[in-house]
């Protein structure tokens, strides 16, 4: 019992060290811009940089659209598969995993061939079209995470019986999805949304090859040309991700508790 606890703590301490030492080192380095003393100069430079503000704003907007698109596609699809097509689940799970296997660069080259300015669908000829393509590409990249989050959420409720209970009370599909299904998987949808956010904020390949002014290419650019600012940026990006995760935790307290387990 005692020694079991000791080993558990040891493993925990090693894990924590593995995680925190590089983090602390990065923080320490990012604060050494001013010679001989610690300061937040690097952060001031980064946050004051107009390109930071522009690219970060662009990526946040892209993330919001990606989340909306992802929710609109994934929630009805995952719901319908659970309700009516359970035999398709393995196939759909496989498809949602493809973005993890196929490099983003392949998607981008596919885009450029399919939607180039000389093609019948010249999406890439305009900025709006390119932005739309970027969001669609991001939604694809986020698909594995979004689908899994939503599907896990759906697993905690008895989708079929709740749907039938609503139907027999006169509800149509719109009411069922908005009043019964979505509120019960909202926390799952939000955690999928935050994961999507984190992915979109840091994404480089697609944004760079489609030549969009996103945060990922900016990060790369700073990283290649400066010393202290990249460390500060890494910490900022980390704080954003961490903040997203904490929000998921806080929100999950408000999740409706499932009472659909007959005792």
Partner 1 sequence: MADPFLSIQHVRKSFGATTVVEDFNLDVERGEFVSFLGPSGCGKTTVLRMVAGFEEPSAGTIVVSGKDITRLKPNQRNVGMVFQAYALFPNLTVAQNIGFGLKVAGMPRADIDARVTEMLGIIKLPQMADRYPYQLSGGQQQRIALARAIAPKPKLLLLDEPLSALDAKVRVSLREEIRSIQKKLGITTIFVTHDQEEALSISDRIAVMYGGKAEQVGTPFEIYNRPATKFVANFVGTLNVLEGTVTDAAAGTVRVNSEQVSLKGKLNGSKSGDTLSLALRPEAISLGRQPGRDSSLSGEISEVHFLGSVIRVRVGIGGNTVSLDTFNSPATPPPAVGEKAEISFSSSDMLVLH
Q: Give contact residues for partner 1 (rule: CB under 8 A).
A: 157-158, 161-162, 164-172, 175, 179-180, 183-184, 256-260, 262-263
116, 122 contact by CB (below 8 A): yes
Q: Least Å distance between CB 176 and partner 1?
A: 9
Residue nearer to partner 1 on the CB measure, 78 or 200: 78
Residue nearer to partner 1 on the CB measure, 139 or 180: 180
Q: Least Å distance between CB 147 and partner 1?
A: 22
Residue nearer to partner 1 on the CB measure, 112 or 251: 251
DSSP state of 253: T
Residue nearer to partner 1 on the CB measure, 29 or 173: 173
Q: Least Å distance between CB 146 and partner 1?
A: 21
What ranges in 31-156 are assigned the alpha helix state H? 41-48, 50-83, 89-101, 104-115, 127-155
58, 214 contact by CB (below 8 A): yes
Give how far Cα 51 sits from Cα of 36, 197, 223, Å: 29, 20, 14
Tokens representing residue 97 in the block: 């995993």
Task: Say how many CA atoms lie within 13 Å of 38 toward its Cβ.
Answer: 7
Q: Least Å distance between CB 171 and partner 1?
A: 5
Residue nearer to partner 1 on the CB measure, 4 or 170: 170
Q: Least Å distance between CB 74 and partner 1?
A: 20
165, 89 contact by CB (below 8 A): no
Residue 207 CA to chain centroid, in angstroms? 16
The CA-CA-CA angle for residues 199, 203, 205, to 5°, reads: 145
Residue nearer to partner 1 on the CB measure, 7 or 254: 254
Query: What's the Rg (C-alpha) of the chain?
Result: 22
Q: Least Å distance between CB 187 and partner 1?
A: 11
């Amino acid at each position: 019992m005692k020694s079991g606890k000791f080993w558990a703590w040891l493993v925990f301490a090693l894990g924590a060290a593995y995680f925190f030492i590089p983090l602390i080192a990065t923080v320490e380095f990012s604060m050494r811009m001013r010679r001989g003393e610690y300061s937040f100069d690097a952060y001031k430079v980064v946050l004051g940089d107009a390109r930071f503000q522009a690219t970060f704003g662009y990526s946040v907007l892209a993330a919001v659209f990606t989340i909306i698109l992802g929710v609109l596609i994934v929630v009805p699809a995952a719901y319908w598969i659970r309700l009516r097509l359970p035999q398709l689940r393995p196939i759909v799970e496989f498809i949602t995993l493809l973005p993890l296997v196929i490099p983003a660069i392949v998607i981008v080259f596919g885009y450029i061939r399919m939607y180039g300015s000389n093609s019948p669908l010249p999406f890439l000829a305009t900025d709006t079209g390119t932005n739309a393509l970027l969001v669609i590409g991001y939604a694809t990249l986020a698909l594995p995470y979004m689908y899994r989050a939503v599907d896990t959420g759906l697993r905690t409720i008895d989708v079929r019986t709740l749907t039938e209970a609503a139907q027999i009370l006169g509800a149509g599909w719109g009411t069922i999805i908005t009043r019964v299904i979505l509120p019960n998987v909202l926390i799952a949808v939000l955690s999928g949304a935050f994961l999507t956010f984190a992915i979109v904020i840091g994404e480089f390949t697609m944004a760079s090859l489609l030549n969009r002014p996103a945060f990922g290419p900016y990060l790369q650019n700073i990283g290649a040309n400066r010393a202290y600012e990249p460390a500060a940026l890494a910490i900022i990006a980390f704080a954003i991700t961490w903040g997203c995760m904490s929000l998921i935790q806080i929100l999950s307290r408000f999740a409706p508790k499932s009472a659909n387990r007959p005792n």
